[in-house]
Amino acid sequence: MDRLSGLDASFLYLETPAQLMHVCGLIVLDPSTMPEPYSFAAMRDGIEARVRDVPEFTRKLRRVPLGLDHPVWVQDRQFDIERHVHRLALPTPGGYAELTELSGHLAGLPLDRSRPLWEMWVIEGYHDEDGHELLAVFQKMHHATVDGVSGASLISHLCSLEPDAEPIGAAQEKKSWPHEPGRAELLGRAVVSSTTRPFTTFGLLAPTVKGVIGTIGRAREGTAMAAPLTAPRTSFNGTITGHRAIAFAEMDLDVIKEVKGATGTTVNDVVLAVAGGALRSYLEDRDELPDSSLIATVPVSVRSESQRAEGANKVSALFTRLGTDVEDPLERLEEMATSNRNAKEHHKAISADALQDWAEFAAPRTFGLAVRAYASLRLAERHPVVHNLVISNVPGPPVPLYFMGARIEALHPLGPVFHGAGLNITVMSNNGRIGVGVIACRESMPDVDDLARRFPAELERLQAAVLGGAARVGAPVRPPRSAAD
């Protein structure tokens, strides 16, 4: 049976009407590149042809009786593309404000668990700042099905390198699904799994204790990653609702690389330093800036290091300070680079599969009840703040892509928000641009667009600081490339 891993299933158990555990994305398309004139029916039929034999798009959940074990995936024998791909049109004037408002509404709707856990809306009538009419595609997929890397890989089944080329995703042989298990079989396997699971605890204790001891040693040396439960409280660190506010921005990847090269840092260091600067100015303008730095959870893919074949989610996480207590952008980048090096070394000392292994002990019924009690008692507002927000950096293709023949003009990923951390920032590179997706609980951060607009402005500020004097972080300053170069 295709059983969900404990980590995949945990995203189901964490979900409530307010804490939705799907990941989203907005793709802006230029339909003028399509080999045939755009029609919704043709696009929907094309999507169906490309996903019908991809299991992640056509499988659905089957619960285990009494919640004794994690659910299993089974084939949806009534798969119907019309239940997953929908058509909408923006109200006049059909600009950025209307698109983000509609996107926030769609992001706040739960997925139907009786069907494959994904949906897609083709949004017509969108006009960019120059008045060009474009298409937008808003997509959702449950975190139980994908993580950042696997989600990007799945989209490759719908994208190509030329308008009329075959999709990048390799053609798959049609999967031969095993027989759908009956209630008795599910119950029997669950009993066996529940009986043997406690014995695996002994194998986890030794590396966990070793990791704890190593963390204490690193903390004494000052080389540990940022500690959870030490974050300052902000207006977006509390109990969330199901309402979402969304905003988008873009940054020039070449500028980020120039800053990286001039300072001897990494792209991720620069992105996090920019995020820290944007958050600092956002909070400062509202007289909410804490004295100590905000702490972000940064998901880390362990796909290449994992020893586990099963499971869609192969991630771990590290905690890092964003330098919001530092005014100078170069000084912030320097601190970010040092902090990230320490966090990465600390993270490497922890088993790549530790989170997956411990997640196997998540009990469906108990876990769900605990999450609901946590929200109803508003405990996120009573204990120290675990972390302020989640920031994800997902690498994307460096070349132009075409979605069902339409050239992708912009690509903006969006992650989930949590009780206690009602803000998520996700960035993804594509064709020389960095797409920034910001999503927040609307009640916690109603003017989310104000934060998103600060990202390109903060990158310009950091670039100006690099060019204005000797970079203190690493390599000598190099000026950005000119158009002639």
- Cβ distance 248 to 452 under 8 Å? yes
Bridge partners of 282, per DSSP, are none
DSSP-derived pairing of the beta strands 118-127 and 85-89: parallel
Q: At what angle do helices 267-285 and 329-348 cross, to 10 degrees?
A: 120
Active-site entry in 22, 84, 143, 346: 143
SS (H, E, C) the chain: CEECCHHHHHHHHCCCCCCCCEEEEEEEEEHHHCCCCCCHHHHHHHHHHHHCCCHHHHEEEECCHHHCCCCEEEECCCCCHHHCEEEEECCCCCCHHHHHHHHHHHHCCCCCCCCCCEEEEEEEEEECCCCCEEEEEEEEEECCCCCHHHHHHHHCCCEECCCCCCCCCCCCCCCCCCCCCCHHHHHHHHHHHHHHHHHHHHHHHHHHHHHHHHHHHHHHHCCCCCCCCCECCCCCCCCCCCCEEEEEEEEEHHHHHHHHHHHCCCHHHHHHHHHHHHHHHHHHHCCCCCCCCCEEEEEEECCCCCCCCCCCCCEEEEEEECCCCCCCHHHHHHHHHHHHHHHHHHHHCCCCCHHHHHHCCCCHHHHHHHHHHHHHCCHHHCCCECCCEEEEEECCCCCCCEECCEEEEEEEEECCCECCECEEEEEEEECCEEEEEEEEECCCCCCHHHHHHHHHHHHHHHHHHHHHCCCCCCCCCCCCCCCCC
Residue 17 and residue 89: Cα distance in Å, rounded? Answer: 26
Q: Catalytic site residue 383?
A: no
- State the catalytic residues: 143
